[in-house]
């Protein structure tokens, strides 16, 4: 029995709170990395068409010998496919590349506010959901004003909103909006790609509780209730990032880490990011 808690999404589907992210893992390294993660105990993989490694994620799932139903798989709709028909076709390609009959979660990767109309995209997501080919659907990088449009103009409430969150960007407003609408928050770049690991406050807590800065930061996310999927191609770090269930942070430690917030993004701002690959 895994120690990783399950979070129940707003449609009853359960997702492991700790998973493994594969952004910036080269396709040639992906199968090995995902196999190592599955051996370590991770049962939730976060990929995207944009990452270019869905095929290799699928190969690892098949070669792992694990039951497909025991692994939670998320992928995301790339920015060039927001038109209704394009979204349906892109989803079919993702399934095909992964070699899966269905996904556990499919997300709109970015809202692209100036490019098109993401409510049309969401209607394609709703069709995918109703067809049973994705057990849940959600969004990524949506701010409350984007979500408000979906809530007003479409039917299915997103199961998750995957946003950048870490001690330097705590996103309390978006997390509160998500919670109010029963949308689970997934925190991407949970250790800010390593940038928070040398922070003296985090280092002090880590030293005191006898854990590494990465473990303290990841545990902080878990105790706040967010879903995380740290990325590493280094096996010892994959194992380190998985050992989070035999210690606890005090309320005071949670608060001092949250107080490190300085609104610092490692990635694009969803309100201005409109990049579409040609």
How far apart, in whole angstroms, are the C-alpha atoms of residue 94 and residue 57? 11
Nearer to ligand NDP, 156 or 244 (CB): 244
Torsion angle in degrees (nearest 10) through CA of 33, 39, 40, 45: 60
Q: Which H or E run includes 172?
A: helix 172-180
Nearer to ligand NDP, 143 or 189 (CB): 189
DSSP string, 97-125: HHT-S-BSEEEE----TTTS-HHHHHHHH
**Shortest spacing between CB 31 and ligand NDP, in angstroms:** 15
Q: One of 42, 51, 129, 168 is an active-site residue; which one?
A: 51
**Shortest spacing between CB 231 and ligand NDP, in angstroms:** 3
Site for ligand NDP, rule CB under 6 A? 21-24, 46, 109, 140-141, 162, 188-194, 197, 214, 229-234, 237, 240-241, 267
Give yes or no for a contact between 222 and 228, defined as CB atoms under 8 angstroms apart.
Answer: yes
Q: What do you get for the CA distance between the two ends of the chain, in Å?
A: 45
- The SS3 call for residue 77 is strand
Nearer to ligand NDP, 104 or 240 (CB): 240
Q: Can 84 be counted among the known catalytic residues? A: no
**Shortest spacing between CB 57 and ligand NDP, in angstroms:** 11
Nearer to ligand NDP, 24 or 131 (CB): 24
**Shortest spacing between CB 35 and ligand NDP, in angstroms:** 15
Phi-psi label, residue 65: left if phi above 0, alpha if psi -120 to 50, beta otherwise? left
Tokens 């490019």, located at residue: 115
Catalytic sites, residue numbers: 51
């Amino acid at each position: 029995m895994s120690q990783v808690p399950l979070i129940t999404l707003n449609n009853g589907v359960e997702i492991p709170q700790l998973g493994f992210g594969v952004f910036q893992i080269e396709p040639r390294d992906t199968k090995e990395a995902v196999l190592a993660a599955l051996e370590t105990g991770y049962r939730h993989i976060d990929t995207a068409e944009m990452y270019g490694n869905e095929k290799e994620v699928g190969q690892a799932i098949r070669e792992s010998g694990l039951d497909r139903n025991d692994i939670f798989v998320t992928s995301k709709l790339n920015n060039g496919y927001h038109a209704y028909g394009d979204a349906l076709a892109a989803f079919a390609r993702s399934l095909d590349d992964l070699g899966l009959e269905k996904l556990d979660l499919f997300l709109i990767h970015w809202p692209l506010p100036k490019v098109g109309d993401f409510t049309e995209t969401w209607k394609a997501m709703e069709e995918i959901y109703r067809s049973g080919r994705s057990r849940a659907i959600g969004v990524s990088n949506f701010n409350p004003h984007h979500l408000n449009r979906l809530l007003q103009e479409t039917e299915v409430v997103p199961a998750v909103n995957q946003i950048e969150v870490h001690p330097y960007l705590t996103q309390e407003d978006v997390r509160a909006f998500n919670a109010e609408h029963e949308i689970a928050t997934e925190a991407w770049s949970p250790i800010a790609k390593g940038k928070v690991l040398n922070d003296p406050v985090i280092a002090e807590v880590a030293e005191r509780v006898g854990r590494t800065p990465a473990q303290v930061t990841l545990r902080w996310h878990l105790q706040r209730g967010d879903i995380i999927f740290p990325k590493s191609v280094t096996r010892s770090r994959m194992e380190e990032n998985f050992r989070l269930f035999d210690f606890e942070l005090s309320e005071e430690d949670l608060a001092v880490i949250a107080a490190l917030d300085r609104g610092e993004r490692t990635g694009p701002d969803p309100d201005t990011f409109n990049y579409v690959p040609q």
